[in-house]
Amino acid sequence: MSHTMVIFGASGDLTSRKLIPALYRQFQRGRLPNPTRIVGSARSPFTSEQWRTQLAESTAKYVKGEFDNASWTAFSQNIFYQPLDIGSDEDFRKLGAFLTEVEQSQTTDRVYYLSTMPQLYAAAIAQLGKAGLNVDTDGNRRVVIEKPFGTDSATAKQLNESIHQSFREDQIYRIDHYLGKETVQNMLVLRFGNTIFEPIWNRNYIDHVQITVAEEVKVGRRGDYYDKAGILRDMFQNHILQLMMLTAMEAPVRFTGEMVRNEKVKVLQAVRPYKGSDFAEFGVRGQYTGYSDEQGIPDESQTETFAALKLYIDNWRWKGVPFYLRSGKAMSCRTTQIVIQFREPPHMLFGEHKSYRPEANRLVVQIQPAEGIQLDFQSKVPDSDMKMRLSNLDFRFDTSGKELPDAYQRLLLDVLNGDPGLFARSDEVEQAWRIIDPIMSAWKSPAAPTLFNYEPGMWGPEEGVEWMTAQGRSWFDVCPVI
């Protein structure tokens, strides 16, 4: 079977930085279906040859030491370019003819990758439908949609409806690159490939869960986009809720895309909805000092660059267990971690003083960087009376010393092979907005809780720490140690 990936928005940053390097790396490893043709489309009037030359340079830069001329020459033979304006029916007709020509009448699975500005997603899809490029009688037709998928519930629903006019749900792949990360998938193996964790993975043993995605970077050149999005849209509605779903879901009956997604959606359905007065109590919002001096940010911007939320999942497994979700730009270090904080022992026998409270068990799943797992537990201090100390067991996900494959490598291969398991379904995206929408509106309203400032390089605003302390808990503010 032959394959074609058509990339709309081909002259953009994502294409050169992520998509082409990922496809090239899979080609080098012999994993890309043979043949896989790549057809770039954008308004810039390149020839195929000019686009290949540009991509050779950018790919060499982004794959670093992995670039070699021989494999690039072989790979790039299947790279083509066809200029296209998304508003033009005629250009889509030409694209159709061009694809038929490069595919040489072979039965071909075709993937349309929308890497354009999000405002153009619906128009591009409608044009594909109008030109008949959505019909999969001679090979499958699939469409990949980058985030952000809508800007709230209503727009996500609208987008789903307009895509469904041209493509069936099983043809639609909504990408969330966090699901392509090795350690995110390992969360399922950790939970459902072992027997020791599952019996204690519930409200009887777990006090709370913390999911932190901290970034050291600031908004940089993405000010225009970021100031409209803010951290809730940029990180929570997608990546962080995905991490929460994998942490909280029930075991699927079988490991199929549909069954896994069914279980994930149930987690979102069980999230307790917030009401107006809840918002001050259930979240903290912050902005780093200097944010409004960045390019494209208005002086008076009230956009959050940090947020911490407390969500409850009202089901048998999790009732009463808070999930603390936190993310920020300009934080102390880059770290994504899921911390399972277990309860304290019910009755303390050891310790010098009766008031001594050792730290309870904790499982730290380090998603990135320094991918791995750490289990903290108490042990006896040798040659002491019955003094305890915190000890740990470490597991390093990859000991080869090489970098883990980029998330796009796995996801692009899955879409070429027609495996939707690591992509978001329409109901998943809509449910995620259902959770985020009311928080966004409350934080935009005149009664919004204070937007606290924090200095870059901190773990967010001081008030976020106090908020946690007031609940008798503390953040696991540790840069990756494994």
Q: Residue 22 Cβ, how far from ligand BG6 at the closest point, in Å?
A: 13
Q: Residue 177 Cβ, how far from ligand BG6 at the closest point, in Å?
A: 6
Coil, strand, or helix at residue 133? coil
Residue 234 sits in the site that holds ligand BG6 (CB under 6 A): yes
Instruction: Calculate helix-pair angle for 121-130, 153-164, nearest 10 degrees.
Output: 10
Segment 155-184, which members bind ligand BG6 (CB under 6 A)? 177
Residue 177 or residue 285: which is nearer to ligand BG6 going by CB?
177
Instruction: Calculate helix-pair angle for 426-444, 153-164, nearest 10 degrees.
Output: 150
Residue 215 sits in the site that holds ligand BG6 (CB under 6 A): yes
Q: Residue 469 Cβ, how far from ligand BG6 at the closest point, in Å?
A: 28
Q: Residue 56 Cβ, how far from ligand BG6 at the closest point, in Å?
A: 25
Q: Residue 176 Cβ, how far from ligand BG6 at the closest point, in Å?
A: 8
Question: Residue 307: which of 184, 440, 433 has the closest Cα?
Answer: 440
Q: What region, left, alpha or beta, does residue 30 occupy, with left being phi > 0 and alpha being psi -120 to 50 degrees?
A: left
Report the C-alpha gap between 209 and 322 in whole angstroms: 7
φ/ψ (deg, to 5) at 400? -75, -15
Q: Which of 177, 239, 347, 353 is catalytic?
A: 239
Q: What Rg value do the Cα atoms of the chain yield, rounded?
A: 24
Residue 91 or residue 234: which is nearer to ligand BG6 going by CB?
234
- In the residue annotation, 347 being an active-site residue is answered as no
Residue with tokens 């493509």: 167
DSSP secondary structure string, 288-325?
ETTGGGSTT--TT----SEEEEEEEB-STTTTT-EEEE
Residue 270 or residue 415: which is nearer to ligand BG6 going by CB?
415
Residue 14 or residue 360: which is nearer to ligand BG6 going by CB?
14
Number of residues that bind ligand BG6 (CB under 6 A): 3
Comparing every residue's Cβ against ligand BG6, the nearest one is 234
The 10 Å Cβ neighbour count of residue 78 is: 21
Residue 234 or residue 477: which is nearer to ligand BG6 going by CB?
234
Residues classed as catalytic: 239
Residues interacting with ligand BG6, by CB under 6 A? 177, 215, 234
